[in-house]
Amino acid sequence: MHHPPIFFCILSFEFPISMAHPCSSISSSFVITFIIFQLLSTCTLYANGCYTSIISFGDSLADTGNLKQLYHSTNRETLHFFYPPYGETFFHMPTGRCSNGRLIIDFIAESIRLPLVRPFVGVKGRYMMELRRGVNYAVAGATALDSSFLAARGVHNPMTNSSLRVQLGWFKRSLTSLCANVPDCKHFLGHSLVLMGEIGGNDYNHALLAGKSIEELETYVPLVVEAIISAINELIELGAKTLLIPGNLPIGCSAVYLTNYYGSDNVEYDNSTGCITRLNKFAEYHNGLLKTKLSRMRERHPEVNLIYADYYNAAMQFFRSPNEYGFTNGALKACCGGGGPFNYNASTACADPSSNVCVHPDSYANWDGLHLTEAAYKVIYKSVFQGPYAIPQFESVCPTLIIKEMDGISSSR
């Protein structure tokens, strides 16, 4: 298994300082201070031992503001994600994140001492340099398959056409700017942690909400997984050495589907969780095929770290035992929504004037019916990065990585 090299910073100076004039000392001191500052800034890039940057693709589980920027730039009618109470717990304002606070990608960035990953959309020119330590191409609502493919099958994406292929195109076009003043792009990518998703969940969500059967969705799975694998191959060819590829969450536990199927005599529920068994089996099918494909890729690319992030089983921990993880109000009912048995109503979304929001979101795992709370994302993060829910485990990929203890990070600024 390839391990990115570890960098050490050694500061050594020899400066002839003339004392002929009082100003000489001041000037020389300023120069020394400036150079030390620059070198220390460079050292910070390598402080976590493995990664100098985070590059992200995906959907609403990873979007830190791209969809919001896309709507703003085209003067389209804004979505409920862009209004309070979204973002209230940590940012104290909506940021475009589909949660009350931080996402898994935010916890990753904080833990390896990199800035929170900024959205790509809307950043131009010289400001691209600011994205060198982290750039996010993920878009809420995005699919792995192109929108045209899904539309031909009667599945329309009401939010965005920024599929994985579109996001990859953005990345390729911005690569020259991101790689400026570094040895080469392969060097830059080789020392970046690439997050491939989560992506693919919306290919199924949009189809299910359009009334497609699970049997039809099963025919999509090989195509969705192949789209993900194809993107990974392109990134490897460009120089990526460490990629984190999450599987899908247990969608049978989502308040959206629990509400849609509520009262149906044809639905089987898991007695241990209350989740819809068949939908979760479907998610397991996707994840199983993805893991199989990644295993084959590891054989072809032994020099590359391909890490499967088991979001499904990491989340199932709190769906099975919500109280154990502090979710005293349960894991299935949404914190913010329009009422009903699971506080979800398709006609009254979270942030609508008539919707309601819980007082203590940290006691809920579900945020708005489809997305999770910051507290739930934190559990998944810790399970993947500090626990056993990654293949291979993250510590084996980067044993020198400084993982910041997440319990020491406050839930608000």
pLDDT band at 193 (very low <50, low <70, confident <90, very high): very high
pLDDT at 405: 53
Mean pLDDT of the 35-39 span: 39
Span 120-175, pLDDT tens digits: 998 877 677 789 899 999 999 999 999 999 999 999 999 999 999 999 999 999 99
> 52-408 maps to which CATH number?
3.40.50
The H or E element spanning position 390 is: strand 390-391
Once rounded to an integer, what is the mean pLDDT over residues 217-230?
98
For 55, list phi and psi in degrees, rounded to 5.
-120, 125
CA-based R_g, the chain, Å: 23
Long-range contact pairs involving 86-95 (C-beta distance under 8 Å, separation at least 24): 86/350, 86/351, 88/361, 89/361, 89/362, 89/373, 89/374, 89/411, 89/412, 90/374, 90/411, 90/412, 90/413, 91/413, 92/412, 92/413, 94/68, 95/64, 95/65, 95/68
> What band does 234 get if pLDDT is binned at 50, 70 and 90?
very high
CA-to-CA distance for 212 and 204, rounded, in angstroms? 9
Cβ burial of 123 (10 Å; 0-12, 13-18, 19+) is middle
Cross-strand partners of 336: 357
pLDDT at 400: 61
Residue 367: per-residue pLDDT: 98
Please report, as a single letter, which amino acid is at residue 396.
Answer: S
Task: Please compute the mean of the pLDDT values over residues 194-203 and round it to a whole number.
Answer: 97
What is the number of helices (H) and of strands (E) in the chain?
A: 13, 9
Q: Which of 56, 60, 111, 162 is catalytic?
A: 60
Strand 305-309 and strand 336-337: the pairing is: unpaired
Residue 14 has pLDDT above 70, yes or no: no
Q: Which is catalytic among the residues 191, 192, 371, 383?
A: 371
Specify the higher pLDDT residue, 344 or 45.
344
pLDDT of the residue at 49: 64
Q: Distance between CA 12 and CA 221 in Å, rounded?
A: 56
Full DSSP string of 152-163: TTT---SS----
| C-beta atoms surrounding 242 within 10 Å | 22
CA distance 181 to 74: 33
DSSP annotation of 77 reads: P
Active site residue 60: yes
pLDDT of residue 403: 61
- Domain boundaries of the chain, sorted by first residue: 1-46, 52-408
First and final C-alpha spacing in the chain: 38
- Partnered with residue 242 across adjacent β-strands are 193, 305
Contact 138, 57 (CB under 8 A): yes
What's the burial of 41, exposed, middle or buried (CB within 10 Å: 0-12/13-18/19+)? exposed
The Cα 111–Cα 343 span in angstroms is 33
| Low-confidence winner among 55-69, 170-184, 297-311 (lowest mean pLDDT) | 170-184
360 labelled catalytic? no
Sign for the CA dihedral angle at 143, 148, 149, 153 comes to positive
User: Where is average pLDDT lowest: 138-142, 296-300, 346-350, 392-396?
Assistant: 392-396
- Residue 328 pLDDT > 80: yes
Residue 329 has pLDDT above 60, yes or no: yes
How large a percentage of the chain has pLDDT more than 90?
74
pLDDT value, residue 48? 54
* 3-class SS shares of the chain: helix, strand, coil, % to 5: 45, 10, 50
Active site residue 368: yes
pLDDT above 50 (res 12): no
Q: Of 59, 203, 310, 368, which is the active-site residue?
A: 368
pLDDT at 395 over 90: no
Residue 206 predicted with pLDDT over 70: yes
> What mean pLDDT comes out for the span 252-281?
96
pLDDT at position 319 over 80? yes
pLDDT at 252: 98
pLDDT of residue 181: 75
User: Is residue 31's pLDDT more than 70?
Assistant: no
> Average of pLDDT values for 20-27?
42
**Per-residue model confidence (pLDDT) at position 351:** 96
What is the arithmetic mean of pLDDT over 240-263?
Answer: 97
